[in-house]
Amino acid sequence: MEEETTNIGLDVDEMLTQISQLVQFNQLSAQIVQDLEQSRWYLAGALVFVVIICFIYILLLRWVVVPVVWVSIAGLFGLLGFSLYLCYKNYEYYRDNPVGLYQTTNLKGYAESIFSKKETWMALLVAGAILILILLLVVIFLRNRISIATALIREGSKAVTSIKSTIFFPIFPWVLQCVVMAYGVFIFMLILSIGENAFGVANIKNDTTCDCGGLYTEEGQSCDPAAFALQCRDTAGGACKMAICHFTGINNPHSVVYLHLINLLGFFWTLFFISGVSDMILASTFSRWYWTFHKKDLPFFTLTSGIFQTLRYHLGTVAFGALIIAIVRVIRVILEYIDHKLKKFDNPLSRAIMCCCKCFFWCLESFLKFINKNAYIMCAVHGHSFCKSARDAFSLLMRNIVRVVVLDKVMYTTLLQLFVCIDFTAVLNL
């Protein structure tokens, strides 16, 4: 009897805990919705303000990109120089004030024991000095490449300011991708619901007054709710007090796995297809701007012409490129799932193999994305097929690999500072 009372108490406590968590979640959701509703105009104002600041920055980019890049490089050298100064001061301090060795199993104490040695700070000092020397040589020998990168950024600023509609165009692909994500999750939930409902017996061992006529005797045994209610009765002839036939899940057929894979492939394929179409449209638009000798003769509906050209001639090219990346992404998801299942087995060899496979396919996906984007550009300019455009793009990139790397890093530094400034001004505006 005491055991039954204890089980009932545990069930009540668990039920109360779940109800409390549900109430807290509802309260938190209501608070979030209320805060968003109260601050919707502030958020809208901040969004408009950020768009204006971004547009002004793009307008000024042709003049400020050179000082921004060189000030960033100077700031990097200043930061590294200050780090060398700190390393030397710590080396000097621990040289004059040596710390005794002590045993510790604490990670924090182990780190403190390492950084309390003068040899550690000397090694950091030497490594920092070598890094500064390498960066200095890189800047000296690649100064012409950096100048070319800044010139390309200025030309990009001119193109964007000439076709102002391209600033707002990325909103539409983003909305489409959000719709695809919602639809993919909806299909995922529908696939999960495929199958028959499964029911299992619970508390049959604890309920000593419940008699099922030998039909249900084990915990978790499959049961039918109607048959359980008909066959299982307590000693008084009523329904069982503790033993129940409750819902345990859905028995999915084996074909559900293949449906999930098809849904996953279609999900990633559609997302990458939308992104590729966006890249192709912008590449077609800016190629028209570049090959127009007198920029004043540029048509007003240049972006619309790029959209028409992409939808008319290049959808197959984009679909093929997106399919390649989608297949690699599905393989990565499968590897993540396998890795999750293998974590219960402490096998260093399997972990090493999975780590190598995941790293390889991550690198392969990043490489294919880079090649695809440049292949779309070559296809928009010359109108060739995907394979020929990818081959031409790869050949062009390899012939100018140093310029590509420098341009990528310079653009990353410039845009990073843009994002930091925009976020800071948006916070101040709020």
Residue 51 has pLDDT above 80, yes or no: no
pLDDT tens readout for residues 229-238 = 777 877 777 7
Residue 430 has pLDDT above 90, yes or no: no
pLDDT of residue 272: 95
pLDDT of residue 217: 72
Residue carrying the six token digits 């845009």: 415
Residue 170 has pLDDT above 80, yes or no: yes
Q: In what helix (H) or strand (E) does residue 249 lie, and over which residues does it extend? A: strand 244-251
Residue carrying the six token digits 């390899």: 398
CA separation for the pair 132, 219 (Å, rounded): 69
Average pLDDT over residues 395-409: 79
Residue 131 has pLDDT above 60, yes or no: yes
Sign of CA dihedral 106, 107, 110, 116: negative
pLDDT of residue 360: 93
CA separation for the pair 170, 155 (Å, rounded): 20
Residue 6 has pLDDT above 60, yes or no: no
Calculate the CA 245 to chain-centre distance.
42
DSSP helix/strand/coil, 27: helix
pLDDT of residue 381: 86
Instruction: Say if CB 193 and CB 250 are below 8 A apart.
Output: yes
Other residues' Cβ atoms within 10 Å of the Cβ of residue 18: 10
The residues that bridge with 245 in the sheet, in sequence order, are 201
Domain residue limits, the chain:
40-141, 163-192+255-399, 197-251
pLDDT of residue 2: 42
CA separation for the pair 394, 389 (Å, rounded): 8
pLDDT of residue 11: 46
Q: Position 329: which residue type?
A: R
DSSP for 198-217, written as a single string = EEEEESTTT-TT-B-TTS--
Confidence of residue 148 (pLDDT cuts 50, 70, 90): confident
Confidence of residue 417 (pLDDT cuts 50, 70, 90): low
CA separation for the pair 388, 403 (Å, rounded): 23
Average pLDDT over residues 314-330: 93
pLDDT of residue 302: 83
pLDDT tens readout for residues 331-356 = 999 999 888 888 777 778 888 888 89
The percentage of the chain sitting over the pLDDT mark of 70, rounded to a whole number, equals 83
Q: What is the dihedral of CA 284, 287, 288, 292, to 10 degrees?
A: 180
Instruction: Say if CB 277 and CB 306 are below 8 A apart.
Output: no
State pTM to two decimals.
0.71
pLDDT tens readout for residues 359-376 = 999 999 999 998 999 999
More confident residue, 44 or 396: 396
Q: Give the Å distances, CA to CA, from 407 to 69, 144, 186, 374, 410.
A: 11, 11, 41, 14, 5
pLDDT tens readout for residues 57-74 = 777 777 777 787 787 778
What the block records as the tokens of 244 is 């129940």
